[in-house]
Amino acid sequence: MSDQAGPEIILEKRGAAGLITLNRPKALNALTLPMIRAMHEQLRAWESDDAVSRVVIRGAGGRAFCAGGDIRQIYELGRAGRVDETMAFWIGEYQLDAYVKRYPKPYIALIDGVVMGGGVGLSLHGDVRVASENYMFAMPETGIGYFPDVGMTYSLPRLPGRTGTYLAVTGARVGAGDALALGLATHSAKSADFEAIASALAGGEDIESTLAAFEAAAPETGPLVMERSTIDECFSAPSLHDVLGRLDVAASSGASFPAETATLIRSRSPTSVLIAFEQMRRGIELSFEEAMLTEFRLCNRVMNGNDFFEGVRSVIVDKDGAPRWQPATIDAVDPATIAAAFEPLDGPEPSFA
């Protein structure tokens, strides 16, 4: 399937399954607002369809389940002053994520390849997340001047130890082994078996028995498991400044992981990493709906700032890798600015219940 050969999203009823295929492989199945709206509408229809007992979602092309929202399109709309259209995308995406979270029927994500940003929102909040050997998770938003959204304010603080804070602030990538160990994925299977799994689920076979029949050998774990003690020790610090201090101390003995982690954090948007750290602090006390509303407030503030547009310019548009963050350093960010970003907006706010 190619981006030009068919619709951006394929929605079909196959036997007992509602089958969703994200169909923009050349764009790593990045989400557009029409895709979001079509999926939301179809999920509502399947909820009341007694013939559909489960929903299966996958990505076309083999390289990615979904690499997130179509950030370039959002960037261009924002630069053109079409703010209402950019916010319509975010509202639509967040409301879909909240619906997936509370969906009453089993929701199974077959994740082959990259799953980032909006793709995480469409998979992590469902019941079952099957990781292939090609699985690669990341919430890399702090690298483009944004913040980990799509419900990560709720989900990441609830991962074991301080791994969620590490992922939120750094945007680091996670393979299948670490994802299974942390609970980001619930099952593993070979990519070559995904079509057979989808067919078995469409045939109405028991979900757990089907996944057990195709279960792959446990993949090797990576740095999140191997470096758990360092992550928990450093990221349990009360402030991001203190996190960096602990990483620097750990790195002084010659350890590469804390040194690389500190360097990565310092390369990200200072405003974004401070927002992400605060999200993790607050998120553990929030309901899912409260977390989504918090993210909408943050999104509104970030879309009216500098760093998102500068980050996208640097990474996606000009690709020069030299973002000019404002403020340029973590120490230069006013803590009051971070606190204010979490405050309610003026006027009515959307519901995510």
Sorted by sequence, the CB contacts under 8 Å of residue 194 that are 6+ apart come out as: 58, 110, 112, 130, 132
Backbone angles phi, psi at 172, to 5 degrees: -65, 155
Q: Provide the CB-side half-sphere exposure for 233 (13 A, CA).
A: 11
Annotation says 149 is catalytic: yes
Active-site pick, 70, 97, 112, 141:
141
Active-site pick, 149, 227, 278, 310:
149
Q: Within 10 Å of residue 245's Cβ, how many Cβ atoms?
A: 14
Annotation says 68 is catalytic: no
Sorted by sequence, the CB contacts under 8 Å of residue 268 that are 6+ apart come out as: 142, 143, 169, 170, 171
Q: 352 exposed, middle or buried (CB, 10 Å; 0-12, 13-18, 19+)?
A: buried
Active-site pick, 18, 59, 68, 69:
69
What's the CA gap between 251 and 284, in Å, rounded? 29
Q: Provide the CB-side half-sphere exposure for 19 (13 A, CA).
A: 21
Active-site pick, 118, 145, 164, 171:
118
- Whole-number CA gyration radius for the chain: 20
Residues marked active site are found at 69, 118, 141, 149
